[in-house]
Amino acid sequence: MLAYGKSGLSVNVPEDTRIVEPTFLELPEDDHELVLNALRNPIGTKPLREMVKSKDKVVIVISDITRPTPNHKLIPWILEELPHVPLENVTIINGLGTHRDQTRPEFVEMLGETIVDSVRIINHHCHEKSELTHLGTSSYGCEVYLNKEYVEADFRIVTGFIEPHFFAGFSGGPKGIMPGIAGIETILTFHNARMIGDPMATWGILDKNPLQQMTREVNNFCKPDFLLNVALNGKKEITNVFAGELTAAHAVGCTYVKEHAMIKCEERYDVVITTNAGYPLDQNLYQAVKGMDAARMIVKQGGTIICAAECSEGMPEHGNFVKILQMRESPKELLEMINVPSFQMFDQWEAQRLAMIQEWADVYVYSLLPEESIKTAMLKQTKDIEQTLQELMDKYGKKMSIAVLPLGPLTIPYVEE
């Protein structure tokens, strides 16, 4: 069963297919108690309740709807630890980066109606200078802008979940702030062609990863006072919690996630079937590039990736992803355009990474996308994965090797070469 949309997708594969899944983890008996214990016994800081004064203006930064962070649990449990802080003193900032605003129904889905009705929630707008504060100049050559309400708060909390990340090594930690609530100029540098194309900017690498180094530097301009991150299993259930000082707590979380979510493979495969971990991560093709990149880690050069991602939201149409894809007629030409130092458009990073994958292997997509969208992205469409496997046997022979990543980027395979 592949993680696909909300319902999953059943696909029959040969018996000798390699299935790459995360290490099975026993769930905690009570994830509520697990989170409260982390807030009360954090890494590198005092307990959360002792750090926040009753008169403090508190901001809590959350990840947006394209991430499976269980905000509906974490936010009420954080507020439970702050009974002395009036709710009117609390603001939740939706860390959109360059993504679109969330609607009220989406906030209800993310946070629950009680929180939506009782706590002020704002969407971050990276293009709105009036909603940003300039904090200085980064050593990476850009001006540093962060959300104004975040900067002006008395106490800053950042939440999120940790998984291997295809640019920054791991998600969570400082990425909640940068790019989550950064200005567009800062985000464009973070995702420029040189950074994305760096060989160290890949899954599971923190040290010497330029994106991880930059996000840490930007966080230090206005550091969050407290971090709450979780690890999740394939069912989006909490398996562990990491709270406290930003860098120290995130490092502990990354070590845990790497041990359980990165799987060593002895060889590369002719065909790798992958997903983008189902809803909410596979809402659009832009996000599904992560699942394709996970498959790239173990597919042979010249091999084939088949990605099952529902893409109920389309490409999507907002942002520049589609516009950039339409600017050239091949992945090679697209990379040449993006790698010109003077080229700069937000969303270029996802188009760049997609083109890098396509230069390595053929990519088929099983989705709700119309044929026109598949053509725009220079991908191949499959309406029947099993039939496509049969057809690929003509190319690779009867001994065609296959691997499956049922949970896509929630499990990152790798080959030591």
Cα–Cα distances in Å, from 99 out to 22, 144, 275, 377, 392?
A: 28, 19, 21, 19, 36
Q: Which of 125, 134, 165, 260 is catalytic?
A: 165
DSSP codes of every residue in 100-157: PPPPHHHHHHHH-HHHHHHSEEEE--TT-GGGEEEEEE-TTSSEEEEEHHHHH-SEEE
Crossing angle for the helix pair 348-360 and 285-296, to the nearest 10 degrees: 40
Q: What token pair was written down for 122?
A: 């704002």
Q: Which of 99, 124, 191, 250 is catalytic?
A: 99
Q: What 3-state DSSP class applies to 303?
A: strand
Q: Where are the beta strands (DSSP E) in 261-392?
A: 262-264, 269-275, 299-308, 362-366, 380-381
H/E stretch holding 359 reads: helix 348-360
What secondary structure letter does DSSP report for 175?
G
What secondary structure letter does DSSP report for 209?
-
Residues 367-384 as b/e (b if ≥16 CB within 10 A, e otherwise) read: bebeeebbebbbbbbbee
The reply to whether 260 belongs to the active site is: no
Task: Say how far apart CA 411 and CA 417 lie, in whole Å.
Answer: 19
* CA angle centred on 57, ends 53 and 63, rounded to 5°: 115
The reply to whether 165 belongs to the active site is: yes
Numbers of helices and strands, H then E, in the chain: 16, 18
What secondary structure letter does DSSP report for 176?
G
Handedness of CA 217, 255, 157, 160 (dihedral sign): positive
Instruction: Name the residues annotated as catalytic.
Output: 99, 165
